[in-house]
Amino acid sequence: MAENIDFSIETLGPCKIPSPVHLSTRMNDMVANYVDDNEKIIYNIDQDLEASGKTLKTVFVREQLLEKAGPREKIYFDPKKVCAGIVTCGGLCPGLNDVIRSLVMTLWFQYGVQNILGIPFGYCGFLPEYGYEPIQLTPSIVSNIHQHGGTMLGSSRGGANTEAIMDAIEQMNLNILFTIGGDGTQHGAYKIYEEAQKRGRKLAVIGIPKTIDNDLSFIQRSFGFETAVSQAVKVVNAAHTEARGAINGVGLVKVMGRESGFIAANTALASNDVNYVLIPEVPFELAGPNGLWENLKKRLASRHHAVILVAEGAGQNLLAASDQVDASGNKVLSDIGVFLKSKISEMAKLDGTTINLKYIDPSYIIRGSEANPNDSIYCSRLGANAVHAAMCGKTGVLMSMVHDRYVHVPIKLSIGRRNLIDPDGDLWRDVIIQTGQPPLMVNHPHS
């Protein structure tokens, strides 16, 4: 049965101003067309029709539809009167500068908006106690920033004092706010959207999903994810080389992934050199006949080397629990990489097994990398489509890609749940097949 999801998008009012972006309203005239609000993308195309007893037509008629992104023929805001703000929050991620550049270039050259403010250091930049002034952004300032990693605006976690942020937005006279960040950032964006509604302020709040872990729901992939995987593959290749060149060499690599193991899973598939992938969604044990150590011992006895790839949120049940949270409200994780390095070395010593273990944590090298070409293209198009949505008065909207189409998703929907690997799904199945690891490395699997 199709999940009951409300994808309806809110607007600030009717669009009456002719768009300065000159496109066509007719098909087959060799000129690109505007997008109409009635153009939709089917969200769930993976239907078990036999089990549901429905015909294909019935499923598609009843299935929820996503609003297609892109420039409209009429816009809501008068470009001459617009003041747009851009803020980047949370941890660094490849592609942040690419998105900022795309937003500024599209606002300036396509719509004629020349009052664009960059907010320094995340939501903290709105708060008077930090003493930061907004940065006036122009094409000359952002023209080359995509060649560098990080964000020219700086970033921070926390600072989500919604009422104070809204006070600052009113003082700056912002009409549009672009929030570039992950789950915590978009939670903050949704609260700003609600506060704007409460105050009766016409503010377009447009979220651009930035989560290197790829764990935001209703997002096909987040920018920076592909770059992270390509960088992680290089590290895995180096770990594999080290492992093969030593007696019973073991390469242990930790990558990002607090609650979801998408980077680890995709890196394993891309590298072909990983023997064990440990992710938050699938439990594992160290000791016992089906635990990681016994499986690793068998691998070393037959192949004399191994590579283990672990996501940062995996195996947290094996470590001492922490009640601490960071400034974004995320639980502070214990270091699974350091733990595994210590425990595997200890178990090998107790068993009298010689191993040469090398541990690599490339997390911050990956986070600070510049975007690869595919991510850069994605960031450019996300930014452009975010501007189109904002100028049409869309609000409470997260830009997304679904089935390779750019779409609008309500922020409220995306922050409601995490995107996780399905242990019964085809991605994890392919990882298990390619690595050759046991489907479940626990000694008493639940039924």
What mean pLDDT is predicted for residues 178-186?
92
Is residue 303 located within the same domain as residue 183? no
Which domain, by its residues, includes 341? 225-368+423-435
- 72 touches 36 (CB < 8 A): yes
Q: Note whether residue 37 is domain-resident.
A: no
Residue 282 belongs to domain with CATH number: 3.40.50.460
Catalytic residue among 213, 273, 361, 375: 213
Residue 139 belongs to domain with CATH number: 3.40.50.450
Q: Is 422 a catalytic residue?
A: no
Beta bridge partner(s), residue 431: none
Contacts 24+ apart (CB under 8 A), 6-10: 6/64, 6/410, 6/413, 7/43, 7/64, 7/65, 7/66, 7/67, 7/409, 7/410, 7/413, 8/410, 9/67, 9/394, 9/396, 9/397, 9/408, 9/410, 10/394, 10/395, 10/396, 10/397, 10/410
Phi, psi torsion values for 126, nearest 5 degrees: -80, -25
pLDDT of residue 62: 45
Q: What is the pTM of this model?
A: 0.90
| Portion of the chain with pLDDT greater than 90, in percent | 77
Q: Note whether residue 99 is domain-resident.
A: yes
- pLDDT tens by residue, 313-363: 999 999 876 555 555 555 667 899 999 999 999 999 999 999 999 999 998
Q: Note whether residue 32 is domain-resident.
A: no
Is residue 96 located within the same domain as residue 190? yes
Query: What's the CA gap between 238 and 143, in Å, rounded?
Result: 35
Name the maximum alpha-carbon separation found in the chain: 78
Is residue 185 located within the same domain as residue 318? no
Q: Note whether residue 80 is domain-resident.
A: yes
Is residue 234 located within the same domain as residue 218? no
Phi, psi torsion values for 406, nearest 5 degrees: -80, 130
Is residue 204 located within the same domain as residue 232? no
What mean pLDDT is predicted for residues 379-384?
96
Domain count, the chain: 2
- pLDDT tens by residue, 129-173: 999 999 999 999 999 999 999 999 999 988 779 999 999 999 999
What mean pLDDT is predicted for residues 271-285?
96
Is residue 253 located within the same domain as residue 401? no
Q: Residue 55 pLDDT > 70, yes or no? A: no
Q: Note whether residue 318 is domain-resident.
A: yes
